[in-house]
Structure 1
Amino acid sequence: MAQVSKSVLRRFNSIVERGNLATPSCTRYPPLFARHARLIHCSSRRSTDGVFRDLTAQRVRTPWIEALRKQQAESKTSEAAPEKPSVPKDRDLSPKRMDDSYHSVVLPLARDPWLLDTYLNSSGHIRLGTIFMDLDALSGVIAYKHTGEDVTTVTASCDRIVIKHPLTEICDLELSGRVTYATGRSSMEISMQVAKAPKEGEQIKNEDVLIQCTFTMVSLDTNTRKPVNVNPLIAETPEEKRLYNLGERNSKIRKQLKERALIKHTPNDLESDLIHAFWQKQLQYHDPYDELRKPDNVHFMDTTRLQTATIMQPQNRNRHHFMIFGGFLLKQTFELAFTTAAAFAHARPTFVSLDPSTFQNPVPVGSILYLTATVVYTDPPLIGAPGEKVDPDSQYTRVQVRVDSKVRDVEHGRSKPTGQFNYTFNVEKNIRVVPRTYQEYMMYLDARRRAEQIKETVQEEGIGLTPAVAEQSITE
């Protein structure tokens, strides 16, 4: 190819600097433009962390460099005086309808292979952790449609994510949800679902619903970070009243679990008997005069533990720029829990549910996030409670993995807990976990309580899959 003269290059560069690439002067040098196309850079707005672009657009509105420079400028001029409330005193808190906050997004996974590329794992399964990120982003969109832009809304807890029907083919997915419970105080419950996107003019069928979930969001004053009231909710139709009553029940369950927590109270009589039975079983394993030895399918809890440490980068920030997006934490904890269950069972786990999990403290951008995952309960258990039927030869085992997160700032080394996440998987393996320290006994009993509560909820609502059916899903 002929060499380009310096005068032509100078002329071309001046066009680039003036931003006149669309002018006729640019079209007079087509060979030059084709050869030097790399000199032109135009950054389009793209998602920063794998969340679907229609949801990211609602969250990340300012480039990180601009937000950082603004914060640095404000820190130089700000005084030590306490922050004043930012929420207007005359803010409209009139009741709202459920449909006022309804929002839906369609992921065109079947139509867009490059979008699908960001949702698939190495075996061609849809990564549930990425779907969880989208759900958390959607819950934020829904919350702000209910509260308005005057407040800061954060994820307080993920009350449940459960697989309702398996997804057996790659298809477009519709994510939708709305606020279904709000009394007028600072918190609200948001119910969402992921379903096979219906054809135009059709409604979503019950058998096409892949995931159902509920999140609890809390609204705070942007400056003081104190809770602020939100609009109460009006339930009009029978279905809306059912959802509202369900949210009220979930709220009561959360309060009951908090009041009965093992951090506040000693184990009850039945649980104390279980602890004693486990202790006796371990004595038998080590007694030289007893023929009983620990079976190969029984593992001590401390041997199941996996840990990670990650620096929190601004690409995973929330809409307020300096804290990490809750969906990113869900994705990270899910994938670590999946890995822990797989390492424990030496089998591919099938996701069952995310059981009630809490976000305790925010995770700042630039901090170090520590995650610790432990297998804390298996069902059937090694030792059942009195009167409980346990199948020692069960083909499948339900494995509950607890992921504890804490954050440490780099400069001072101070650390604090940021959340606890409880994932349940099915594995095609007969395998059991056994605690052997007092702390592990408490983790085991806490997980057992959660498993019992989930069983009751599943029976009431008629949801849940058999392990064999769940294995047919192309999600993972």
Structure 2
Amino acid sequence: MVLDIPPRTCMIDRSGHEVWRQLNEARCRIFHSSSRHQTDGVFRALTEQRVRTPWIEALRKQQAEGTAPGQTSGKQEVPSHRSLAPKRMEDSYHSVILPLAQDPWLLDTYLNSSGHIRLGTIFMDLDALSGVIAYKHTGEDVTTVTASCDRIVINHPLTEICDLELSGQVTYATGRSSLEISMQVAKAPKDGERIRNEDILLSCTFTMVSLDPGTKKPVPVNPLIVETPEEKRLYALGERNSEIRKQRKQTALIKYTPNDLESDLIHAFWQKQLQFHDPYDELRKPDNVHFMDTTRLRTATIMQPQNRNRHHFMIFGGFLLKQTFELAFTTAAAFAHARPTFVSLDPSTFQNPVPVGSILYLTATVVYTDPPLIGAPGEQFDAESKYTRVQIRVDSKVRDVEHGRSKPTGQFNYTFNVEKNIRVMPRTYQEFMMYLDARRRAEQVKESVKEDEIGLSPKAAEQSVTE
């Protein structure tokens, strides 16, 4: 950068040649900017594992070959002699230290306007870490994609800005195409020390699927060797999560009608709506009750190559997690007019890949509140509680810019606590189905949290320096 000062500037001072010399030196002095500290929301140690080829090189190669972005060869590319020998959990273990307390410029990319750590950026890191772990287990011959996030749960509040350790390993793999990865984020321990249970900020599990790069068909992965009691416990959790996914498919509302209890709940809501509008009934909709359709927020974003995955032409799952989380957070805040605190990312699915250059449409809706406006027969809850647990469903779809084709890409379910007595009320059949699906998820999460003895009280969550 050259500082351009017009020659006539020297006439403002009568000190003569000295001023002239200094100004001329200033005019030709070269200034160098300091090295970049910013990242795209994913820590450098993980970004390097994800993006190995500059975008311009990948684009030129694709143009030279005359192929469409993401187009496959159609031929099997996984070697037939690929080893599928069982592996240990520790073989895939990987950890990264995020030096937030040491590097203020790095911290700058992880903070929001109120000084809280943006969990969406942590979710990006976790998805990138899950990819590193998956490839340590499967090898580089396969394509591994995120199929679902079974849960992300806050274990303990983070009360100060500190270095964080992100770590995880494959904890469930039977030899078929899918594998489950368990990860955690905790305060980075000092040298020679181990992480204490109370230092664990959050834990999560991701399900990954391995595909043949040429055919995009599932391929088998190495099964796990389970030896120690702790490994057996983690493996059993993976089996439980797999069973829950199967049960959810078998009873999905898209295929099956609501059960008797849920039908009674729909009828009770319908009766309540009639009361609200009956001119001969004094009951009217309370101010803290909001119809579901009034809670929706939508966004549209073009997908840029800076957020691509290691296969160049698709957006990596962590970016979708960040985008959906921040929209869900905004929706909860707009609904309650209070600062939400994150509780969990409930079981969520990635349905289709998101190509670079496409447009991503997100729709967030408040689909369930706990305590509810109307409980199921026999259900007990504190209707006067000053805290409300709000579940946000974010539906995503992607549209091809050139052809206008669209397809769903995933559904993400976030739960937040707000310090407000507020309720959501469905009033169409579609909204009733969304409400019941969210209610089922809430019940499943309650059970798993109770079994694992994790989760925060609303008051404790408010003390955390995370969103």
Q: TM-score, normalised by structure 2?
A: 0.92
Amino acid at match of 2:402: E
Separation in 1 of the partners of 2:235 and 2:3? 74
Separation in 2 of the partners of 1:188 and 1:2? 57
Output aligned runs, 1:356-375, within 5 Å: 356-375=347-366
CA RMSD, 1 decimal: 2.2
SS in 1 for 2:127: helix
SS in 2 for 1:242: helix
CA contact (8 A) 1:372 1:404 kept: yes
Match of 2:274 in 1: 283
CA contact (8 A) 1:307 1:373 kept: yes
CA contact (8 A) 2:331 2:364 kept: yes
1:152 aligns with 2:168: no
CA displacement, residues 23-57 of structure 1 (integer Å, 9 cap, x when unaligned): xxxxxxxx98994535x899x89876221000001
Unpaired runs of 5+ residues, structure 1, are 4-30
Match of 2:388 in 1: 397
Match of 1:23 in 2: none
CA contact (8 A) 1:395 1:429 kept: yes
SS in 2 for 1:441: helix
CA contact (8 A) 1:46 1:53 kept: no
Output aligned runs, 1:193-212, within 5 Å: 193-212=184-203
Output aligned runs, 1:157-306, within 5 Å: 157-306=148-297
CA displacement, residues 67-106 of structure 1 (integer Å, 9 cap, x when unaligned): 000011112699x996211100000100000000000000
Amino acid at match of 1:254: R
Match of 1:414 in 2: 405
| Amino-acid identity (%) | 83
SS in 2 for 1:266: coil
SS in 2 for 1:68: helix
1:386 aligns with 2:377: yes
1:423 aligns with 2:414: yes
Separation in 2 of the partners of 1:327 and 1:353? 16
SS in 2 for 1:429: coil
1:390 CA drift (Å): 2.2
Amino acid at match of 1:345: A
Amino acid at match of 1:113: P
Match of 1:73 in 2: 64
Separation in 2 of the partners of 1:222 and 1:36? 52
Match of 1:321 in 2: 312
Separation in 2 of the partners of 1:118 and 1:53? 12
CA contact (8 A) 1:47 1:53 kept: no
- Cα 1:275–1:88 shift into 2, 3 Å: same
Match of 1:464 in 2: 455
Unpaired runs of 5+ residues, structure 2, are 5-23
- How many residues were matched structurally? 447
Match of 1:37 in 2: 30
CA displacement, residues 349-390 of structure 1 (integer Å, 9 cap, x when unaligned): 000000000000000000000000000000000000111012
Separation in 2 of the partners of 1:35 and 1:195? 50
Separation in 2 of the partners of 1:82 and 1:132? 32
Output aligned runs, 1:15-26, within 5 Å: none
Separation in 1 of the partners of 2:249 and 2:429? 20
Separation in 2 of the partners of 1:431 and 1:120? 28
SS in 2 for 1:328: helix
CA contact (8 A) 2:296 2:366 kept: yes
Separation in 2 of the partners of 1:33 and 1:141? 49
CA contact (8 A) 1:402 1:423 kept: yes
1:307 CA drift (Å): 0.1
Q: TM-score, normalised by structure 1?
A: 0.91
